[in-house]
Amino acid sequence: MAEGKLKVILGYAAGVGKTYRMLEEGQALLAAGRDVVIGYFEPHGRRDTIARTEGLETVPRRVIEYRQRQFEEMDTAAILARAPEVCLVDEFPHTNVPGSERAKRWEDVLLLLGAGIDVITTMNIQHLESLNDQVREISGVQVRETVPDWVLKRADEIVFVDLTPGALLNRLDRGAVYAPDKARQAKEGFFKEPTLAALREMALRQTAHEVDLRQAPAPRPEEARSATYGKEQERILIHVTDSPAAVGLIRRGRRVADYLRADCFAVAVVAGGGLAALPEQQRTALERHLDFARKLHIDTRVLDAEDAAGALVGFAQTNSITQIFLSKPRKPKLPFVGARRLLAMQVIRAARDIQVTVVADRQQPGAPTAR
C-alpha cells in the first residue's frame, strides 16, 4: 500500500488563518468527490472558522481520563477504521494526554499516512525543533511542544499562510483570535509586533528553504561519486557532552546540516569504561542528549578515549568531516594557571583543514514556557 501524502499548512502565530485554510482545502476536495473527514479540529470559538466545517464529516474524539479529569484527543483508531481518503488534523505538534497510545499528534499522523490516508495538518514555525533556541531568543518564551525537522521534511507539500503582524494584532484586538482575557495574555508572549515580525521572517525563510529542497534535482550518480571522491560533500560532527548547552548545539548542528544537505554525527567522548563508568547524573544527562540527537535522525557515536580533542579530530579525519561544532565552555570562576588548554583550543589547533565552530550557550534560565 502506498503511503498517504502529507500537506503542512504553516504559519507563524495563532490567528493567521491556518485552520481556516485547512478546512477550505477540505471543502474543495469534498466538492471534487474525495472522501474527506475531520480527524481533529480546534475551533477556539472562531465563528468564521467553525462555519467552514459545514458538510464535512467529523470523526468523534476519544475521551481519556487523566488525574480525575477527562480530556478529548484525536481518535486515531476510529479514523483508521473509517479509512477516509483525506483526513484534516489540526495542531500537528500537540502533546497527547498520558494514557494515549502515542505521545505526540504528529506520531498519530505518521500512522495515518502509513495506512495510505492523505493528511492536511497545521502548525506554527516556533514548533519546529531546530528553531527552538532561536525562538526563545526572539520571544523570551520556551516552546515545549516541537516537531522534529525530519517529520516536516516528510511533507509532500508545505503551504505558508501569511498575514502582516499589524493585521494580526488588529484581529487580536477585535477578539477574532482569542477571548479578551487570553488576548491580554497573548500580548505578553508572542503577540508583540517585533516578535511577530521576526517569527514571520523565520517562517518565510523556512518555507523558501523547504521549497528549494523539493525543487532541487537529485544529483546524477556520476556527480554523487565525484562529490564523494573529491570530498566536496559536507559532513558535520557535533560534540555531545552532559552540559545543558549540548541540546542547543545539537539543534544548531542539525539545522546547518539540513541547509547544507550534509551527513551529521553526534559524538561523545568518554574516558575509561564508556558510559557505564560515568557517575549516574552525568551518564543520565549524556544519554538523554544522545537520545535527543537520535530523535533528530543524527548518527550517534560514543568514543572511549582519554584525549577528547584527539579522539574528536581523529574521528573527523577518518570520516571526512568538514565541520566540527563545539560548545563554548563557561568562564571558570578561577583563572587557569599552568592548566591544559581548553578542549575548543585543542581541537582548533589539531583540526587544521576542518572548520571548527564554537557555539555560545544563550539559554535564559527561568524563561517562561509555552505549548
**229-359 architecture in CATH?**
3-Layer(aba) Sandwich (3.40)
Return the CATH architecture of domain 6-215: 3-Layer(aba) Sandwich (3.40)
Among 74-78, 79-83, 140-144, 210-214, the range scoring the smallest mean pLDDT is: 210-214
Least confident of 77-91, 111-125, 189-203, 208-222: 208-222
Reported as a pLDDT band with limits 50, 70 and 90, residue 365 is low
Could you check whether 6-215 and 229-359 share the same CATH topology? yes
Asked whether the beta carbons of 34 and 56 are under 8 A apart, the reply is no
Helices 193-215 and 132-139 sit at what angle, rounded to 10 degrees?
160
What's the angle, vertex CA 205, arms to CA 202 and CA 207, rounded to 5?
105
Place of cell 535527543: 292
pLDDT cut 70: percent of the chain above it: 88
Asked if residue 70 has pLDDT above 90, the reply is yes
Cα separation, 222 vs 225, whole angstroms: 5
pLDDT digits (tens, 9 = 90+) for 270-293: 987 788 889 999 999 999 999 999
Q: DSSP letter string over 268-316?
A: EEE-SS-GGGS-HHHHHHHHHHHHHHHHTT-EEEEEE-S-HHHHHHHHH
Domain ranges of the chain: 6-215, 229-359
Using the predicted structure, report yes or no on whether residue 232 has a pLDDT greater than 80. no
Residue 176 has pLDDT above 80, yes or no: yes
pLDDT over 60 (residue 220): no
Q: Look at residue 215 in the predicted model and tell me its pLDDT.
A: 66
Cell numbers 459545514 correspond to 54
pLDDT at 214: 66
- DSSP, collapsed to helix, strand or coil, labels residue 37 as strand
Q: What is the mean pLDDT of residues 139-156?
A: 91
pLDDT given at position 369: 59
Here the contacts of 81-86 (C-beta below 8 Å, separation 24 or greater) are 82/37, 83/115, 83/117, 84/35, 84/36, 84/37, 84/57, 84/117, 85/34, 85/35, 85/36, 85/117, 85/118, 86/26, 86/29, 86/34, 86/35, 86/36, 86/37, 86/117, 86/118, 86/119, 86/120
Residues 49 and 311: their CA atoms lie apart, in Å, by 57
CB 185 within 8 A of CB 14: no
Average pLDDT over residues 332-351: 67
Q: Select the more confidently predicted residue: 217 or 83.
A: 83
* Confidence at 219, pLDDT banded by 50, 70, 90: low
Tell me the pLDDT of the chain averaged across its residues: 88
Instruction: Give Cα 207 to chain centroid, integer Å.
Output: 14
